[in-house]
Chain A
Amino acid sequence: DAGVTQSPTHLIKTRGQHVTLRCSPISGHKSVSWYQQVLGQGPQFIFQYYEKEERGRGNFPDRFSARQFPNYSSELNVNALLLGDSALYLCASSWGGGGETQYFGPGTRLLVL
């Protein structure tokens, strides 16, 4: 079975642009969460979606938004990119809405110049 997949693997943008990152969860999983990992730090929670509804939002500005589609895949959108948005963006899927193992994808590395 395929694991969590993310696209693209790498991305270079300039300040002020917007970016869309995509994630496909493990088949049968209904929850997708997004994390940002800045170099040298642990991942930080951005969003969780379960059954296409937002279940949680971390301490990130409104420039960050996400959605989950009927097939449970998800998009993370970031507008008005800042240099500080450069990071590894990780997607995780789990079967239910909470208290379970989360399985992570390989991540999308975003560089903002």
Chain B
Amino acid sequence: SQQGEEDPQALSIQEGENATMNCSYKTSINNLQWYRQNSGRGLVHLILIRSNEREKHSGRLRVTLDTSKKSSSLLITASRAADTASYFCATDAGETSGSRLTFGEGTQLTVNP
């Protein structure tokens, strides 16, 4: 079963606009990771945010984490057609459970040129 839920399930925007995707989860976590997947290929790691962090940036990506609300958001600024992909959040409960990532269902982002 999936722990996380992504919202929205699908998002369609114009090039240059910002895209925001949200993720909610149910249990305590050690960290939360965001991944991108193009057309059913392998997952590309975007960013990892630890439970004691509230915000993290990487290039055009901004991730926030609110552990009190058990939620995270991924913001992609100035989107490009090449950002079209599925985006997944995945939670890691920590070393006691090994490296078990629990994924949400994903958000399908379409960026129109």
Which A residues fall within an 8 A CB radius of B? 4, 31, 33, 35, 39, 41-45, 48, 50, 55-56, 58-59, 88, 90, 92, 94, 97-107, 109
Q: C-beta contact mask, B33-64 vs A, less than 8 Å → 1, else 0?
A: 10100001111110010000000000000000
Q: Are B99 and A90 in contact (CB under 8 A)?
A: no
**Contacts beyond the supplied A39-B40, A43-B90, A43-B101: 16 A-B pairs with Cβ under 8 Å:** A4-B42, A33-B99, A42-B4, A44-B2, A50-B99, A56-B98, A56-B100, A58-B100, A92-B99, A94-B99, A98-B97, A101-B48, A102-B33, A102-B45, A102-B101, A104-B43
Binding site for A on B (CB under 8 A): 1-2, 4, 30-31, 33, 35, 40-45, 48, 88, 90, 92, 94-106
- C-alpha gap A42/B91 in the complex (Å): 12
Does A42 lie within 8 Å of B99, measured CB to CB?
no
Closest residue to B97 on the A side, CB-wise? A56
A-B contact pairs, 22 of them (CB 8 A): A31-B98, A33-B100, A33-B101, A39-B40, A41-B105, A42-B2, A42-B106, A43-B88, A45-B101, A56-B98, A56-B100, A92-B43, A92-B101, A98-B30, A98-B95, A99-B31, A99-B95, A99-B99, A102-B99, A104-B42, A106-B41, A109-B40
